């Protein structure tokens, strides 16, 4: 019996009506962070995978063995599966759809300009393309993060476009973290499947079989619950980060230390220590757009998501507070000052700068008259277009030479063990705004800095807190 593989709480049934085929042919539409990581990992499970993207530049790069995004370990894993003939890339779904019984939609769902809704243009376009091209039974799996009701709408759209097509729609939201994406995909906390037909359940079981075998939990639900699980999880994490950021402001005001507070809270098993590090506000490709979309979903359904709405507001204020801190450590003026920025990506180990706090804070510094020298191990590639008016420098020491202020915005490993004495002695006025709490007031003072500020902890030489 195959049922011995299933977790007890998994709703999959031991269904003998469908012939089990362990190796699947999978097409993935969209080769962004999610599509590419999923495609490469599925091929590593032994499936035959074709990753499709409309962007010729990306497909050209992938065919040449290059990866359009920065994600540790992905290049090696990709090469291994391309060599094994299990993984290929295509510009056109029409060329690869034959025999692909499962098609994942992993296209972007950015915030729609103007109203905060998730923009479903790409998802719907992909669904229509599938409807027109598919011939045999197809499982259409949504990996993109989509608002409640979207998968139901997708079903209707496909049925309307191709009434004779035999298909099922499955919601399979993705929880991977950029920077640790392979690990998260291969060792997930859970796999969520909104799946309502036994036939599609069987197919999804085969796809994730290597993970079932290793007892990773499966949560099988209806379509709507799967959609909400994704938004609720991200909104909850954004809330946790925002909560600790707000507590950090209180720490500054009363002379407490946020690191000790986080530790003391995080050791409580009910709270947990993850997402409890105070910083310059959350950013990235998911939390800002997903919290905004959840707020819209709540409004549309007459159930305002008041906590999420507040989180969005407080996160904006947090980024503004970072600007105020920087101003305060520069005696209230940035005009004519040279500021070295360490890190622009929203977190380390990714080249993603979508909605990074840097995109709010840096333009504000430029408007206030500062000249910016920026160092980021991966952020320059896309950052050049997004952050006009800054100078990119290769390393922290060169960038700090002659500067008036050093701002640490992203905690890349290479910024964690800088020679602070060397930095301070080369700066015109050695001041540091450490917005990731990598160093301490004591470290800075010993190294010869005149002023140091961080988040929710002791500072000196600043008029802030």
Q: Which residues are catalytic?
A: 286
Pick between residue 208 and residue 452 the one whose CB is nearest to ligand NAD. 208
**Cα separation, 9 vs 303, whole angstroms:** 30
Q: How far is the CB of 291 from ligand NAD (least distance, A)?
A: 12
From 52-60, 303-311, 319-327, 404-412, span contacting ligand NAD (CB under 6 A): 52-60
Pick between residue 202 and residue 355 the one whose CB is nearest to ligand NAD. 355
Given 58, 277, 431, 457, the residue binding ligand NAD (CB under 6 A): 58
In which element (H, E) is residue 392 found? strand 391-392
From 30-38, 214-222, 315-323, 377-385, span contacting ligand NAD (CB under 6 A): 30-38
In the region spanning residues 89 to 118, those forming contacts with ligand NAD, defined by CB under 6 A, are 106-109
Helix 150-161 vs helix 121-133: crossing angle, to nearest 10: 40
The CA angle 251-257-261, to the nearest 5 degrees, is 90
Q: How far is the CB of 121 from ligand NAD (least distance, A)?
A: 8
Q: Tokens 């991977």 appear where?
A: 176
Pick between residue 56 and residue 302 the one whose CB is nearest to ligand NAD. 56
Given 32, 147, 279, 465, the residue binding ligand NAD (CB under 6 A): 32
Nearest to 81 by CA among 116, 38, 119: 38
- Closest-CB residue for ligand NAD? 32
The tokens of 372 are what? 């910016």
Per rule CB under 6 A, is residue 28 in the interface with ligand NAD? no
Give 287's contacts (C-beta < 8 A, 6+ positions apart): 234, 237, 238, 241, 355
Fill in the per-residue mask, 254 to 293: x = in contact with ligand NAD (CB under 6 A), - = not in contact.
Answer: -------------------------------xx-------
Pick between residue 129 and residue 168 the one whose CB is nearest to ligand NAD. 129
The tokens of 211 are what? 């993970």
Per rule CB under 6 A, is residue 174 in the interface with ligand NAD? yes
Q: How far is the CB of 411 from ligand NAD (least distance, A)?
A: 18
| Residues 46/86, Cβ–Cβ less than 8 Å | yes
Q: What is the DSSP string of 29-61?
A: E--SHHHHHHHHHHHHTT-EEEEE-S-HHHHHH
Give 206's contacts (C-beta < 8 A, 6+ positions apart): 20, 21, 22, 24
Give 55's contacts (C-beta < 8 A, 6+ positions apart): 31
| Residues 362/354, Cβ–Cβ less than 8 Å | no
Q: How far is the CB of 80 from ligand NAD (least distance, A)?
A: 21
Q: What is the DSSP string of 250-272?
A: HHHHHT--HHHHHHHHHTSTTT-
In the region spanning residues 114 to 173, those forming contacts with ligand NAD, defined by CB under 6 A, are 122, 125-126, 143-145
Q: How far is the CB of 363 from ligand NAD (least distance, A)?
A: 22
In the region spanning residues 284 to 343, those forming contacts with ligand NAD, defined by CB under 6 A, are 285-286
Q: How far is the CB of 238 from ligand NAD (least distance, A)?
A: 13
For ligand NAD, the binding residues (CB under 6 A) are 29-35, 52-55, 58, 106-109, 122, 125-126, 143-145, 174, 176, 178, 285-286
């Amino acid at each position: 019996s195959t049922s011995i593989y299933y977790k007890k709480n998994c709703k999959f049934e031991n269904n003998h009506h469908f012939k089990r085929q362990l190796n699947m042919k999978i097409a993935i539409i969209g080769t962004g962070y999610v599509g590419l990581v999923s495609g490469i990992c599925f091929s590593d499970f032994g499936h035959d995978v074709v990753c499709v993207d409309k962007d010729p530049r990306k497909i050209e790069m992938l065919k040449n063995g290059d990866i359009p995004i920065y994600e540790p370990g992905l290049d090696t894993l990709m090469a291994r599966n391309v060599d094994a003939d299990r993984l290929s890339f295509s510009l056109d779904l029409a060329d690869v759809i034959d025999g692909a019984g499962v098609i994942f939609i992993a296209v972007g769902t950015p915030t729609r300009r103007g109203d905060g809704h998730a923009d479903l243009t790409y998802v719907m376009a992909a669904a229509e393309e599938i409807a027109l091209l598919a011939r045999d039974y197809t499982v259409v799996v949504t990996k993109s993060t989509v608002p409640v009701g979207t998968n139901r709408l997708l079903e209707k759209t496909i049925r309307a476009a191709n009434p004779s097509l035999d298909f099922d729609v499955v919601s399979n939201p993705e929880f991977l973290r950029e920077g640790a994406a392979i690990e998260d995909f291969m060792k997930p906390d859970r796999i969520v499947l909104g799946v309502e037909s036994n036939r599609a359940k069987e197919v999804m079981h085969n796809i994730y079989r290597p993970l079932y075998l290793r007892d990773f939990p499966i949560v099988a639900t209806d379509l709507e619950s799967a959609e909400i699980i994704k938004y609720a999880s991200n909104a909850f994490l954004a809330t946790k980060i925002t909560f600790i950021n707000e507590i950090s402001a209180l720490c500054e005001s009363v002379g407490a230390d946020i690191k000790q507070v986080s530790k003391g809270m995080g050791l409580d098993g009910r709270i947990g220590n993850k997402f409890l590090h105070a910083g310059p506000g959350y950013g990235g490709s998911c939390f800002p757009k997903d919290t905004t979309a959840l707020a819209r979903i709540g409004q549309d359904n007459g159930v305002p998501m008041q906590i999420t709405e507040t989180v969005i507001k407080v996160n904006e204020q947090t980024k503004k507070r970072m600007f105020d801190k920087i101003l305060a450590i520069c005696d209230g003026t940035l005009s004519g000052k040279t500021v070295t920025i360490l890190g622009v990506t929203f977190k380390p180990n990714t080249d993603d700068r979508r909605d990074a706090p840097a995109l709010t804070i840096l333009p504000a510094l430029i408007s206030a008259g500062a000249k910016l020298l920026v160092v980021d191990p991966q952020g320059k590639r896309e950052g050049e277009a997004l952050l006009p008016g800054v100078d990119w420098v290769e390393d922290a020491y060169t960038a700090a030479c002659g500067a008036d202020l050093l701002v640490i915005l992203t905690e890349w490993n290479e910024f964690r063990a800088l020679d602070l004495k060397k930095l301070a002695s080369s700066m015109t006025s050695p001041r540091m705004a450490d917005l990731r709490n990598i160093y301490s007031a004591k470290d800075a003072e010993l190294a010869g800095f005149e002023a140091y500020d961080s988040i929710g902890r002791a500072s000196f030489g600043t008029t802030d807190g």
